[in-house]
Structure 1
């Protein structure tokens, strides 16, 4: 009898490189996460009605990688293709690639100072089932705690997940699932939290935040609280992408936010399309320092609830929702039914706070340029933002003009 699998991700960030312009490295893993993240963001944006969205692709990709580590056939191949693995049809190569990428990344982040970055994984397995030995070993490689739970007690199961989420997110994501999200036939839930907290390397002066015009589109202008900063920053004009980009570093080493501003007021959809094809890293790693940037940036807050099932199907991961995997628990195969995420981001004068909760549910199968002395960078139209650690995309989203609280 095929049963139910749940996967949950929580990701939180609140924004502080003691060196303002760190030497960032570029890796194959970072490149693959970049492209996958941009693909997911484009589809999320396309489905959104208000066009203010935020997501943490890393949480979703981490859980998918763990699921793929014991999957076979098309289930594994589709996930590995999204993750950017080349030899995704060879199980031995898949295992090596995963252990050298997402498993190592989980281990690396779990050892960072929890005062500014925390990554935690947890497996909740139904008290009616036993983890497959291989999967248990793989979960251990991801620094995952394992607990038993009675999913037939739907309220108790939801409360347990929400309590864990709240604890790991320091109270930022308190109720990501409800009783109705829990199917009593659930076999397992995989949980993930990423929490990042800090401040801008150079904070904005709150006294300089003023209501200014923001172009929602060519015919709609609204007033938003606009922060102001004059500072040396990394910058790029990318005519191929049709954007200008600015980098805002945090005080924590190698954390930064990239603001991607389309040249055209209505240019964000086309920018997202191009980013989904080649990612942003090529442009990010061409940025150069400018002596003085006069930056106006909206102060905003966004919360998104995302059903990733249709999003993943759009980017080529559909088999896991139809075909069972047998390597998760000993007594049954499982099929993924839903992938959910709740995410938020808050940008203000001190820094950025962001978080996300993701759940995957499985059910029974039925060039060099001489920089000018200063640059005016006015973020007064829909734009994209990316929060990275080194070259790893942790959060990404879009802001289109209306504050979401």
Structure 2
């Protein structure tokens, strides 16, 4: 079935909090558009941190990560609270007289993204706790109210059974696409916060699989791989960023979500683009898109990426929550709570039918004109976003589409 939804994106964040003594190991109002803008810049900052470690494929869900830490934000105080705010780029949205504003904005954003019910987009959160662990009633009320979190009791001392229960939860929330989120678990774990996002969308303009042919993809000047290249000629929204020497193409899904492709010109090294991608620039691309007939050639690809964010976030300024200086006293009266591990896992599958799974500036954005072909045969960036809010759901970089 040509319109069968086959493209799926899956994103997961696991926050493992060990409850052991620490000495042992403003505008008047803020909107969901403001939150989306801030979250996008956080996404770009995290992308740059990941890309500084390697030149391989990248794929993650900034919304999944920021939502998890927004929940943790309600549990934090003092310097820990300030650091989480700063790294998430949410300082400007903090209101002393509205302590629930940020979680409320996340709640409204989720409602806006899923409001028509036709988009296959499930965003779930669960709190797994030890039977003896008592969390603050206010935190329990808020995480349920704003994030609709499931609160489940597990015996972490029985690591085998705990791993089975947690993986079963993720398997259920992703319709069996992710079967193993975690493979090991410390028996001292007292609390685990799990966030899962499942997205499945069909292209508004599907590619015809009969036209898919093997074609070269130029990883760099010395490495070429053969990939199944999809083809479609139709009217698409495109633009060109002259100063960045890159082209932009919007590939819409059927229900208010689109993939935006950023393709550097052949003479432009993709690494030179990294520092130039910002929320403001992203919105300028969207604002300048113009519809025209285009021949699109795009590789099929699928990949799965895992990140140990506890090794990345401290280098972005979020340090105390992982240390003896952690302040998570709004989560529990136990002052010995700190965050030990943050895991993020993401998977995407793009084929002919779909994906399972702003203000103008002076940077020279113009409608993309001749030649009216868009051949994605070299490293590119992609962003999956909700059009009404410009909320960035997922983002990635494809260096080698044959590398899973």
Whether TM-score is above 0.5 comes out as yes
Match status 1:123 vs 2:131:
no
Say whether residues 1:292 and 2:296 are aligned partners.
no
Matched residue SS, 1:297: strand
Cα separation, partners in 2 of 1:402 and 1:196, compared to 1, 3 Å: closer
Measure, in 2, the Cα distance between the counterparts of 1:115 and 1:370: 29
Distance 1:137 1:106, change over 3 A: farther
- Equivalence for 2:52: 46
Q: CA deviation at 1:91?
A: 4.6
How many angstroms does 1:101 deviate by? 1.8
**Distance of 2:175 and 2:367 partners within structure 1:** 45
| Residue from 345, 348, 363 that aligns with 2:351 | 348
Alpha-carbon contact 1:217-1:265 (below 8 Å) kept: no
Residue 28 of structure 2 corresponds to none
CA distance in 2, matches of 1:295, 1:109: 28
Alignment pair present for 1:32 and 2:48: no
CA shift digits 1:324-370 (9 cap, x unpaired) = 4212134454111111112111111011123xxxxxxxxxxxx6856
Taking a change above 3 Å as real, the CA distance of residues 26 and 152 of structure 1, as seen in their structure-2 partners, is closer
The answer (yes or no) to whether the contact 1:303–1:404 under 8 Å persists in 2 is no
In the alignment, which of 196, 201, 204 is matched to residue 204 of structure 2? 201
**Structure-to-structure mapping, 1:70-85, within 5 angstroms:** 70-85=75-90
In 2, Cα distance between equivalents of 1:298 and 1:147: 42
Match of 2:375 among 375, 378, 384: 378
Checking the alignment, whether the CA contact within 8 Å between 1:81 and 1:88 is kept in structure 2 is no
Q: Answer yes or no: is the 8 Å Cα contact 1:236–1:283 preserved in 2.
A: no
For residues 4-403 of structure 1, the aligned pairs below 5 Å read 8=14, 27-48=33-54, 51-87=56-92, 91-93=96-98, 95-108=99-112, 113=117, 116-140=120-144, 141-178=146-183, 181-252=184-255, 254-264=256-266, 267-275=269-277, 278=279, 280-322=281-323, 323-354=326-357, 369=366, 372=369, 375-390=372-387, 391-403=390-402
Deviations 1:252-294 (A, max 9, x none): 1x1000111112456222212211x556433332232232011
Distance verdict in 2 for CA 1:26–1:239, change over 3 Å: farther
Q: Is the 8 A contact 1:301 1:347 kept in 2?
A: yes
Moved more, 238-247 or 155-164: 238-247
Deviation larger for 185-194 or 151-160: 185-194
Instruction: Kindly indicate whether the alpha-carbon contact (under 8 Å) linking 2:157 and 2:188 is maintained by their aligned counterparts in 1.
Output: yes
SS of 1:146's partner is: strand
**Superposition deviation, residue 295 in structure 1:** 0.9
Contact 2:247 / 2:368 at 8 angstroms: preserved in 1?
no
Deviations 1:217-269 (A, max 9, x none): 122222211111111111111123332110000011x1000111112456222
SS for the counterpart of 1:118 is: strand
Q: Name the SS for the 1:296 alignment partner.
A: strand
Aligned to 2:21: none
Please state how far the C-alpha of 1:107 moved relative to its aligned partner.
4.7
After superposition, the CA RMSD in angstroms is 2.5
Render the CA deviation track for 1:63-82: whole Å, top value 9, x for unaligned: 10111122112211121123
SS in 1 for 2:190: strand
Q: 1:310: Cα distance to partner? A: 2.2
Would the alpha carbon gap of residues 287 and 173 (structure 1) be closer, same or farther in structure 2, given more than 3 Å must change?
Answer: farther
TM-score with structure 1 setting the length:
0.84
In 2, Cα distance between the equivalents of 1:261 and 1:370?
Answer: 14
Q: Deviations over 1:144-189 (max 9, x none)?
A: 11111111111111111100000000011110101xx312221211
Task: Name the CA distance, whole Å, in 2 between partners of 1:114 and 1:332.
Answer: 44
Q: Secondary structure at the match of 1:186?
A: coil
Q: Does structure 2 conserve the Cα–Cα contact (< 8 Å) formed by 1:384 and 1:399?
A: yes
- Whether contact under 8 Å (2:95, 2:101) holds in the other structure is no
Q: Which structure 1 segments of 5+ residues have no match?
A: 1-6, 10-24, 355-366
The alignment of Structure 1 onto Structure 2 pairs a total of residues equal to 367
Contact 2:302–2:401, Cα closer than 8 Å, also in 1: no
Looking at structure 2, the residues matched to 370 and 266 of structure 1 have their Cα atoms a distance apart, in angstroms, of 19
Unaligned runs of 5+ in 2: 1-12, 16-30, 358-363
Alpha-carbon distance, 1:28 to partner: 1.1
